[in-house]
Every structure is written in C-alpha cells, then in structure tokens.
C-alpha cells in the first residue's frame, strides 16, 4: 500500500472543505503541505445545490442586527441552539462575506450596486444574500473551486473516499483512502484531519440531497470514538418538487415562499393558517408537518405551491433555475401550481465540535454539515448552514495557526492493525446487490424514522436495520464505493434511530407522536461508540 504524509488533510470539497483549504493555505505555514480529498469531482457536493442563499448580518444592513439573528435562530431551533455559538457565527458573518468577495464570490446586487437580501421562513428581516438568483451554492462553489485548483500548495485527490480514520491512544494520526477508479488504497498520515464530508440526506427515500450525501464522515468519526451530538434531528424540507417516481427531489426554495408564494391543495385552497399564524413563513419543521398532514388527510402524494401571485418578471429573474427545472416537467411557475412534498434535507446532528472545529478525538476536526456545533438546535433556520460552513472553516484555520502541526508519530500496533485490514489482498468478496439493500434502508428510514416517529416505529426500524446488516457481510474492507457508502449509511441510520428512541419528547424536527410535548429541560443528546454496541 502507498503511504504519504501531509500537515493537514481536508476530507470533502463542499463549501466548508474548499474554504478551509484556502484559509489554511493562506494563514498557516505547513511543512508537509495540504491534501484535499473528495470522493467525486471537485465541485460535487450538497453545497452546489444550495439555492435560497446565505445568511449574513452585514454591518451596513441597518434593518438587521446580531441580536435579531440570534433571536430568530433560537426560536427556530426549538430551544436547543447554543447562544454563544450563534453569537460567534453571526458576529463573524460580515468579515467572512467580505473575505469571500476577495476570493471572487459574487452575490447579487441591485441597480445601485448594493447587496440584495431576501427573506426565508422564520427570519424576521431580509438578511439572506444570494447569487445567480437561486444558484447561490453553485456560484460560491465555482469561485472557491477555481481558487483551490489554481493553488499549487493544495494537492487534490478526486474520486477518492476516506474509508477509515487511523486512531490510536485517542489521537487521530491519519486516514485510509480508497481510489474508486483504480481500486488502490493509500495510508495518509497527518496531524490534523478535517472532516468536511457533509450530510446524510440519502439515508431517506425522498431527499433533496445528491447521491454522495451518505453520512461517511459521521460514521468514520463515530467509529474512531468521537462524541456524536443530537443525532435524532433530521430536517425535512417542506417543498421538494414531487414528480412521480423521482426520489432524489429537486428543491423548490423557501425563498419562493419568502417572496410571497402560498401553499394550497389541488383546488387552490390555502391551508397554512390552520397550522401557524406565520403561515408559509413558519419554521421549516412546522411547515413540513403541515404539508405531511394535508397529504395524509387527503390521501395525496403532494400539496401545491402557488407562485403565480409573484410578479412574473421578478419570478423569472429571482428563480431562473427553479423556473427552468419546472418547465422541463411542463410546469410554468408563473401560471401553474407546483406539486411539492417534504423530503429529507439537512442534518442538525453530527460530530460534536467546538467553534475551532475540534472533536473529542485529538487531531480530528469537523466542519460544515458533518459537524454539530449547536448552532441549529432542533431545527435549522434557513440559510444558516452555508454561513456556518464558512465561519467554522475560517475559525478552524485560525486555530490551526495557533498550534504546532507536528509530524505524525510512529506507527504503533493499533494503527498497523487498521492498515493490515486494507492491505490484505486475500479476502474474497462476492458481489452484493447494494442498490437493493440501499433502497430497503431508505424505505425503512422514511417509513419508521421520518417526519413522525413513535416507539413502535423506531423499534421496528432497529430490528429491520439489524436484519439488513446481516445481509451485508463486510467486516474488514469493502469492494467498492457503493459498499463503503452503504456501510456508513447503516451505521448512521442505527445512531439516528437509537437517539430518536432515547429522546422521549417532541422538539423541532424530532416529532414523537407518543410524546407530542416538549420537555421543559432542554438538553443535547450525545452518543459514543463505547456506550453503544451497534451490532447485536
């Protein structure tokens, strides 16, 4: 097996990983260089598909303030968001946006050259920057990808999956990576491994997330002994385009509701006032449950979004991507109702970190959606995620500047035994129908660990996942990327199910029909490998 050594290894090339690479390169003197590993092509990630925008509390936006952003985030987060975390992220947003502009990111501006702000659910003011109308993620990512590709000090491995972290004596010393094109493994030693591997949307049958969102970094960190936080909190977006047979669903941004679109049934009867006085702009978990309830009561596969009330020129200018996508399906959003339904969208849980990106394992860091900083609490406020990605990437880089990145220590027995698993060429593996196993898991998670859960459904899920695990006989190494992803999906599904069983209350996106009330005491949930043996 090939060996290499880097001062810092960043795993993932979404906005968190790309920006971290650039900031570390800019700020830290690294004797052994930076490696950026990504399992697809450089730009492929959840980040690319972000539409609505990025929250920014800009100093010259006089209608906004850090206090107002904190208040909105806390309200949406159902009492679980951490004040200091929000304050830190909010206060740094102005500086980070200005820094992104220097890296060539362009946000939409009005005819006077001032930044344009939009509004989304549960924001009390317009504070969301956007780019390319509704192509914010793609525009930011393209600018950062360009800078990373041009930077000679950042080495890039594409089509390469991180498959196991090298941890001994509670310290992360590197990572085993697998090239899905050549089938080769490599051991990469490093004193700072940064997980920027994104979310878990693909665990569910219906999702807005692209195929790579399989929770890899979260499973790797869990297996390495890191503390996981709030794993029961999965955010379902209320308005994904519901076209028959499409399970990976295109998002109809909340910003469309922010600009005035209304939810209704097939006859055009609006229903949100039955659920919340903020109607379409209630927090996302409330709108999701409202849509889900309407669909169940009326036995339909979708509800509808009526955007025809928005002036058609504005609609076309603000939402070019959505207009085009809908038109491909014969839906003219300036006239027709858009069929929409909930889909898994974002993960509030993940690897517990502080604001420097440190996890509970020395040398292992996590940023972006893979991390759980406590910002989002039980329900993420729209467009807070991209902001968290960039502020936390920035602060992790600052932190690395302040510590000595030592050359990784000698290989010990613990590390050697991990490397040996992947060096062994004698293991014979039969082909498995991973696609079919994956579909079964996605159905289980959607049906039993979805928008509404209870003890019976969660126990059923546990049992079914356990049986699926028995049909997936991979102990040491896997045959290909699909298998590694599925292995990670099984791990994260079990963690979500277990934590959902443990939390005997409803809060934010975690709704237990058998415990519909919220407990007075608001506490995070934690889970670590030593405390839970997942394999029965």
* DSSP tag of 441: H
Site for ligand FAD in 199-218 (CB under 6 A): 199, 208-209, 212-213, 216-217
Q: Taken in order 355, 361, 366, 372, is the CA torsion positive or negative?
A: negative
Q: Tell me which of 11, 286, 303, 326 binds ligand FAD, using CB under 6 A.
A: 11
State in angstroms the smallest separation of the CB of 462 from ligand SIN. 29
Q: Catalytic: which of 257, 284, 289, 380?
A: 284
SS3 59: coil
Q: Report the alpha-carbon angle 156-222-408, nearest 5.
A: 50
Q: For residue 487, indicate whether it is catalytic.
A: no
Our CB check for ligand SIN shows the closer of 8 and 383 to be 383
State in angstroms the smallest separation of the CB of 489 from ligand SIN. 21
Instruction: Give yes or no for a contact between 162 and 220, defined as CB atoms under 8 angstroms apart.
Output: yes
Site for ligand FAD in 248-267 (CB under 6 A): 251
- Please choose, from the candidates 513, 476, 493, 479, the residue with its C-alpha nearest in 3D space to the C-alpha of residue 440: 493
| CB within 8 Å of 418: residues ≥ 6 apart | 164, 166, 176
| φ/ψ (deg, to 5) at 327 | -60, -35
State in angstroms the smallest separation of the CB of 492 from ligand SIN. 20
Q: Does 137 bind ligand FAD (CB under 6 A)?
A: yes
SS3 193: strand
195, with CB counted inside 10 A (0-12, 13-18, 19+), is buried
209 interacts with, out of ligand SIN, ligand FAD, none, CB within 5 to 8 A per kind: ligand FAD
Give the Cα separation of 71 and 456 in Å (integer): 36
Two tokens, residue 488: 């990670």
Our CB check for ligand FAD shows the closer of 53 and 342 to be 53
State in angstroms the smallest separation of the CB of 240 from ligand FAD. 8
- Per CB under 6 A, the segment of 15-23, 109-117, 145-153, 428-436 that binds ligand FAD is 15-23
208 interacts with, out of ligand FAD, ligand SIN, none, CB within 5 to 8 A per kind: ligand FAD
344 interacts with, out of ligand SIN, ligand FAD, none, CB within 5 to 8 A per kind: none
State in angstroms the smallest separation of the CB of 213 from ligand SIN. 13
The interaxial angle of helices 384-402 and 93-102, nearest 10 deg, is: 80
State in angstroms the smallest separation of the CB of 299 from ligand FAD. 28
In the β-sheet with 228-229, what is the strand arrangement from edge to edge? 371-372, 350-352, 228-229, 526-527
Question: Where on the chain is the footprint of ligand SIN (CB under 6 A)?
Answer: 51-52, 251, 253-255, 346, 382-383, 385
Q: Tell me which of 389, 418, 495, 501 binds ligand FAD, using CB under 6 A.
A: 389
287 interacts with, out of ligand SIN, ligand FAD, none, CB within 5 to 8 A per kind: none
Q: Report the alpha-carbon angle 369-349-117, nearest 5.
A: 50
Q: Beta-strand (E) ranges in 329-475?
A: 338-347, 350-352, 364-366, 371-372
Instruction: Give yes or no for a contact between 350 and 12, defined as CB atoms under 8 angstroms apart.
Output: no
349 interacts with, out of ligand FAD, ligand SIN, none, CB within 5 to 8 A per kind: none
Our CB check for ligand FAD shows the closer of 90 and 457 to be 90
Kindly write out the interface string for residues 46-75 of this chain, putting x where it contacts ligand FAD by CB under 6 A and - elsewhere. xx-xxxxxx---------------------
Give the Cα separation of 406 and 31 in Å (integer): 9
Q: Does 339 bind ligand FAD (CB under 6 A)?
A: no
Q: Tell me which of 307, 386, 418, 458 binds ligand FAD, using CB under 6 A.
A: 386
Our CB check for ligand FAD shows the closer of 345 and 453 to be 345
Three-state helix/strand/coil letters over 260-304 = CCEEECCCCCECHHHCCCCHHHCCHHHHHHHHHHHHHHCCCCCEE
| φ/ψ (deg, to 5) at 7 | -70, -40
Q: Tell me which of 346, 422, 448, 486 binds ligand FAD, using CB under 6 A.
A: 346
Q: Does 14 bind ligand FAD (CB under 6 A)?
A: yes
Instruction: Give yes or no for a contact between 195 and 165, defined as CB atoms under 8 angstroms apart.
Output: no
> How many residues bind ligand FAD, per CB under 6 A?
45
Give the Cα separation of 426 and 433 in Å (integer): 22
Report in angstroms the alpha-carbon separations of 115 from 130, 245, 320, 337.
9, 39, 19, 31
SS3 24: helix
216 interacts with, out of ligand FAD, ligand SIN, none, CB within 5 to 8 A per kind: ligand FAD
68 interacts with, out of ligand FAD, ligand SIN, none, CB within 5 to 8 A per kind: none
Our CB check for ligand SIN shows the closer of 249 and 512 to be 249
16 interacts with, out of ligand FAD, ligand SIN, none, CB within 5 to 8 A per kind: ligand FAD
369 interacts with, out of ligand FAD, ligand SIN, none, CB within 5 to 8 A per kind: ligand FAD
State in angstroms the smallest separation of the CB of 388 from ligand FAD. 8
Q: Tell me which of 9, 10, 16, 351 binds ligand FAD, using CB under 6 A.
A: 16
The binding site for ligand FAD (CB under 6 A) comprises: 11-17, 37-40, 44-47, 49-54, 136-137, 161-162, 196-199, 208-209, 212-213, 216-217, 251, 346, 368-370, 383-386, 389
Catalytic positions are 284
């Amino acid at each position: 097996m090939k060996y290499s050594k880097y001062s810092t290894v960043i795993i993932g090339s979404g906005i968190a990983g790309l920006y971290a690479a650039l900031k570390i390169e800019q700020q830290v003197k690294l004797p052994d260089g930076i490696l950026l590993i990504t399992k697809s092509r450089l730009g492929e990630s959840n980040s690319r598909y972000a539409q609505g925008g990025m929250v920014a509390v800009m100093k010259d936006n006089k209608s906004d303030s850090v206090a107002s952003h904190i208040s909105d985030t806390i309200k949406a987060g159902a009492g679980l968001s951490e004040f200091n975390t929000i304050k830190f992220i909010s206060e740094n947003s102005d500086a980070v946006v200005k820094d992104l502009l220097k890296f060539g990111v362009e946000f939409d501006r009005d005819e006077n050259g001032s930044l344009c702000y939009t509004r989304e659910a549960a924001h009390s003011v317009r504070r969301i920057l956007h780019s390319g109308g509704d192509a914010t993620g793609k525009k930011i990512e393209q600018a950062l990808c360009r800078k990373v590709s041009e930077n000679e000090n950042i080495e890039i491995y594409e089509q390469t999956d991180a498959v196991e972290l090298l941890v001994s004596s509670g310290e992360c010393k590197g990572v085993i990576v697998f090239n899905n094109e050549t089938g080769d493994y490599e051991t990469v030693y490093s004193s700072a491994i940064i997980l920027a591997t994104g979310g878990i949307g693909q665990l569910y049958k219906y999702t807005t997330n692209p195929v790579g969102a399989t929770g890899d970094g979260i499973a790797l960190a869990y297996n390495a002994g890191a503390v996981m936080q709030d794993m029961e909190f999965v955010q379902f977006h209320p308005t994904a385009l519901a076209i028959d047979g499409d399970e990976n669903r295109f998002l109809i941004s909340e910003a469309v509701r922010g600009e005035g679109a209304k939810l209704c049934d097939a006859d055009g009867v609006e229903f949100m006032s039955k659920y919340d006085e903020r109607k379409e702009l209630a927090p996302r978990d409330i709108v999701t449950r409202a849509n889900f309830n309407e669909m169940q009561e009326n036995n339909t596969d979708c509800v509808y979004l009526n955007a025809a009330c928005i002036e058609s020129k504005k609609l076309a200018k603000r939402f070019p991507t959505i207009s085009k996508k809908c038109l491909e399906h014969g839906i003219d959003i300036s006239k027709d109702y858009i069929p929409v339904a909930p889909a898994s969208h974002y993960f509030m849980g993940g690897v517990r970190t502080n604001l420097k990106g440190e996890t509970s394992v020395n040398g292992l860091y996590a940023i972006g959606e893979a991390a759980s900083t406590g910002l989002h609490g039980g329900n993420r406020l729209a467009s807070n995620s991209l902001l968290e990605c960039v502020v936390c990437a920035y602060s992790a880089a600052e932190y690395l500047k302040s510590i000595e990145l030592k050359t990784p220590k000698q290989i010990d027995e613990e590390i050697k035994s991990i490397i040996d698993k992947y060096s062994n060429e004698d293991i014979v593996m039969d082909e498995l129908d991973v696609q079919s196993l994956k579909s079964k898991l996605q159905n289980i998670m959607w049906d039993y660990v979805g928008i509404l859960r209870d003890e019976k459904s969660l126990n059923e899920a546990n049992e079914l996942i356990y049986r699926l695990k028995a049909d997936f006989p991979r102990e040491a190494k896997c045959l290909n990327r699909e298998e590694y992803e599925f292995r990670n999906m099984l791990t994260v599904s079990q963690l979500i199910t277990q934590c959902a069983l443990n939390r005997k209350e409803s809060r934010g996106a975690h709704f237990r029909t058998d415990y519909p009330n919220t407990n007075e005491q608001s506490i995070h949930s934690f889970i670590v490998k030593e405390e839970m043996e997942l394999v029965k």
